[in-house]
Homo-oligomer: A and B are copies of this chain.
Amino acid sequence: MDPLDVRVNGRPQAAIPVTSRLQYGDGLFETVVMDNGRLLLWPEHLERLVRGIERLGLDPIDPVILTAEAEGLAIKQGLAILKVMVVRGGLGRGYRPGPGASDRMMTTWPWSDRKIDDEAPVFWCRTRLARQPLLAGLKHMNRLEQILAQQEFTDPYWEGLMQDTQGWVVEGTMSNLFVVEQGVLTTPALDHAGVAGVMRGQVMKRAQGLGMAVRIDSLTSKRILEADEVFLSNSVMGVRPILRLGQRSWDRGPVMSQIADALRACGDAPAL
């Protein structure tokens, strides 16, 4: 699939130098839904991006410029996807960068027509996530673990669950995980591994708004299999139930549906 638009530092430009810091995955990204001129959850995406820039020690990016550029791209499309990348500046060969301001890159992509079948199974990945507190939570560009994990499965599986090297279940390869146990909503702690998804934060917020108890905890695979409902979230798909996982299957549950309604009502997810 080709991008609709490609911008580097605000200019239409399809390529970057081979010697860019991309050669070490030295940057961050955000995947944002553009819905008829609106950037869904833009303040939340921006906040995570800024937090990542600080944690990795990248030169700051002006959020006003970033926002103006993203909005300019959003008004050109109906429903589409924006990928924002911020890469450390400075070219060269070694791990220590030369001088240079961070680069921002934006690509826009058609909304995928591929309907995810909720009945499709979810895979248990063998690829484990390393425990690295310094990078946990960030949407950084060092993504070999997710790439290896996605190589493990194909259709009909639409997503795979990943454990860390200690066996805790952390997330999907491209989504965050929630379980519902006797009405309580729990999502895995992300202090040692995983990406703190923007939609994950929004799911917790909307659930609290609905009066639900929300917890962050370490989750075992056993506990997931015993949960009343299990679902996944990300910015593009919103929330999706896991209805089949290994030998276990679930019926659709009421909690995720309530949250999905709240997300749509609040404009966090596209009203498809």
Contacts and interface: CB of A to CB of B under 8 A. Distances in A.
Given A18-B16, A95-B173, A148-B57, A25 B130 contact: no
A130 B107 CA distance: 31
A134 B145 contact: yes
Interface string A1-29: 11100101000011111111011111001
Contacts of A17: 14-15
A214 interface: no
What is the total number of copies of this protein in its complex?
2
Contacts of A2: 91
Q: Which of A23, A85, A127 has the most CB of B within 10 A?
A: A23
B174 A143 contact: no
Given A1-B92, A95-B174, A143 B26 contact: yes
Contacts of A146: 24, 95
Nearest to A105: B18
Interface residues of A, number: 59
Contacts of A141: 23-25
A51 interface: no
Contacts of A22: 20, 22-23, 25
Interface of A: 1-3, 6, 8, 13-20, 22-26, 29, 31, 56-57, 81, 83, 85, 88, 91-98, 105, 107, 109, 127-128, 130-135, 140-148, 150-151, 165, 173-174
23 contacts: A1-B92, A1-B93, A3-B19, A3-B93, A8-B18, A13-B18, A16-B16, A18-B85, A18-B105, A23-B85, A24-B25, A24-B141, A24-B146, A57-B151, A95-B146, A95-B173, A95-B174, A96-B147, A96-B150, A127-B134, A130-B130, A140-B144, A142-B143
